[in-house]
Amino acid sequence: MNAGTNFRSIVANPRSGPPQGCVRRPRAATFRCVAMFRLQGSKVLAVDMTGDAVKAKNGSMVAYDGQMAFKKLTGGGEGLRGMVTRRLTGEQMTVMEVRGQGTCWFADRAAEINLVRLQGEKLFVESSNLLATDAGLRTGTTFTGLRGASQGNGLFTTTVEGHGQAAIMSDGPAVVLRVSAQYPLIVDPGAYIAHQGNLRQTFQSGVTFRTFLGEGGGEAFQIRFEGDGLVYVQPSERNTFAGDV
Amino acid sequence: MNAWGPPGAGPVVHDPMTLPADDNVNSYTFCVELKGSQWFLQKGKMIAYYGAIEFNGVGHGRLDRLVRTSFHSPLHASDWVVAEGSGKMLLADRAFDVNSYDLDDGNLTIRSGNLLAFQPSLALKQSIVPGFLTLIGTGKFVAASNGPVVFMEPPIRVDPQALVGWADCPSPCHHYDHGYLTGVMGGLRAMTGLGGASREEHQFEFVGAGTVLLQSSESLMAEQASGALPQEPGVPGGAGVSGSRGQQAGAPRLPGQLGDLQRRFGL
């Protein structure tokens, strides 16, 4: 990740020095503590908290030490408007807020977990692939167009925005691919899990009359990413409508 | 290899320059470099690509001759796709381990569900053993397995579920533990599990010179159609076979099946 994340080096001695979760916020004059995300193995997310909060997928806590309070957030913690939007768009997300002191471990169905550090960019991710975010990150929904329809995930996707860390899940470790001006990337809709940065996505279809003869290329629907950013793909394909043609 | 890279560096970000050419990105993803060349893939195993790559069904127009040169049988060609163009393409299969293997003027037989992709310099044929495919020639192919693959030398007996394939010429045959499966008591034991059935009474036996490929788990991958068999007498697994015993050669005989008992009692 270009953001120069150094959470791994912190993992080596988690109990040393001042609270590592503290970062200097550009606009705030004081130090503010944010939750520290780290991976324990590749399928368990450990979050060190010092009185602050994270939003996590409902029921994904597997263990904690210290003092924790779990509160279900109605409508993904996005207020009444978010609640209505999510209901309307079908991009349902049941989220809980975890607040406390200590370490909380999260995991979901042995899915691989990938950490993403956001510095003001927007992360687009399917709500089913989002495990946890910093409480300071804003989440919302956005229209994705035909891509969503082709992967059976609906026409909308979840966005995560702000400064902080998020954890996304994938079936098998995700491969992070960079998209730049001279290198556009084409992704199978079933393998796509998330993207971040300034990317344009177009949906391309290779459906020809041969598809109907059963001689299709097997990759009839593809998403093309152009611009500048990162795309996360998983080494597995969800069952999609497009997978059969 | 680790998707996260060295500690402290965060996840590795790949671009067309840093992606390996014809090598694994991590244990579950394989990168193929195309430079105007072709690769065959099973349908739907491409997860992403850079560059200009076209995917066409085998048998599409001018690609028809590929069926002749690389497939030899039109029976299962519709499950395969030709990738053609230039760029780098990532292959993966249901988050299983993937690995590439080089064949040098050799032959290798593999379970049909495990084969992901191969170079057109290899010829793909249906094996006589139902559900298996044979690759012949020189070139590279990519196969998936549940857990890493181990290579064993015959003579060896292997568990049917762990078998991925075999190279060169060991002869595959069934093997049953006799102490467990003969006699009335053996039959009852195998059928009911009373008196202890280890469920390992049946193995595949390989003898001869060659290599046997095993996966390190016993969960099978979904079988891919390897093509219909010609309706001819003498073809194992083909519908043309109607054994006088009523025993289909293709279906593995389950221990304790009624047919076996009948034969044991001499009925």
List all residues of chain B from 121 to 160 with a beta carbon under 8 Å from chain A: none
pTM for this entry: 0.77
Q: Do A114 and B11 touch (CB under 8 A)?
A: yes
Spatial distance between the Cα atoms of B109 and B213, rounded to a whole number of angstroms: 10
Q: Do A237 and B47 touch (CB under 8 A)?
A: yes
The widest CA-to-CA distance across chain A, in whole angstroms, is 66
Cis peptide before B155 (omega within 30 of 0): yes
List all residues of chain B from 33 to 72 with a beta carbon under 8 Å from chain A: 41-50, 53-60
Out of A7, A8, A188, the one facing B47 most closely (by C-beta) is: A188
pLDDT for residue A188: 86
**Cα dihedral sign for B223, B224, B228, B229?**
negative
Contact in structure between A150 and A204 (CB atoms under 8 Å)? no
pLDDT for residue A28: 40
| Buried/exposed A71-100: b ≥16 CB within 10 Å, e otherwise | eebebbbbeeebeebbeebebebebbebbb
Residue B7, phi-psi category: left (phi > 0), alpha (psi -120 to 50), beta (remainder): beta
pLDDT tens by residue, chain B, 267 residues:
333 333 444 578 898 888 998 899 988 999 999 998 889 888 888 899 999 888 877 765 566 666 666 666 555 666 788 888 999 999 998 889 999 999 999 999 998 888 999 998 888 888 888 888 899 999 999 999 988 899 999 888 888 888 999 998 777 888 877 665 566 666 666 666 555 556 666 788 898 888 999 988 777 766 666 666 666 777 776 554 444 444 444 455 555 555 555 555 554
The widest CA-to-CA distance across chain B, in whole angstroms, is 71
- Please give the residue of chain A at the shortest CA–CA distance from B41: A218
Q: Do B28 and A42 touch (CB under 8 A)?
A: no
Spatial distance between the Cα atoms of A71 and A98, rounded to a whole number of angstroms: 7
Element of type H or E holding A101: strand A95-106
pLDDT for residue B98: 92
* Cβ-based contacts of B81 with chain A (< 8 Å): 217-219
Structure letter (DSSP) for residue A239: -
More confident of the two residues B61 and A241: B61
Give the least confident one: A22-36, A175-189, B155-169, B189-203.
A22-36
Q: Do A187 and B44 touch (CB under 8 A)?
A: no
Nearest residue to A36 (alpha-carbon basis) of A28, B175, A51: A51
Spatial distance between the Cα atoms of A192 and A169, rounded to a whole number of angstroms: 11
Which residues, at least 6 apart from B193, have a Cβ–Cβ distance to it below 8 Å? none
* Cβ-based contacts of B23 with chain A (< 8 Å): none
* Cβ-based contacts of B98 with chain A (< 8 Å): 235
* Cβ-based contacts of A114 with chain B (< 8 Å): 3, 11
Tell me the mean pLDDT in the region A120-136.
Answer: 88
pLDDT at A46 over 90: yes
pLDDT band at A209 (very low <50, low <70, confident <90, very high): low
Give the three-state DSSP class for A40.
strand
More confident of the two residues B116 and A222: B116
Spatial distance between the Cα atoms of A212 and B61, rounded to a whole number of angstroms: 15
Contact in structure between A188 and A151 (CB atoms under 8 Å)? no
Contact in structure between A35 and A134 (CB atoms under 8 Å)? yes
Spatial distance between the Cα atoms of A82 and A79, rounded to a whole number of angstroms: 5
* Cβ-based contacts of B26 with chain A (< 8 Å): 173, 175, 235
Which ranges in chain A belong to alpha helices (H)? 7-12, 79-89, 146-150, 209-212
ipTM above 0.85, yes or no: no
Per-residue pLDDT tens over the stretch A135-148: 888 888 777 665 55
Question: If you write DSSP's letter for every residue of chain B in order, what string do you get?
Answer: --TT-STTS-SPEE-TTTSPSSEEEETTEEEEEEEEEEEEEETT-EEEEEEEEEEEETTSGGGHHHIIIIIS-TTSGGGEEEEEEEEEEEE--TT-EEEEEEEEEEEEEEEGGGEEEE-TTEEEEE-SSTTEEEEEEEEEEEEEESS-EEEEPSSEEE-GGGEEEEEESPEEEEEE-HHHHSHHHHHHHHHH-TT---S-SEEEEEESSEEEEEESS-PPPPPPP--PPP--TT-TTSTT---TTS--SSSPPPTT-HHHHHHHTT-
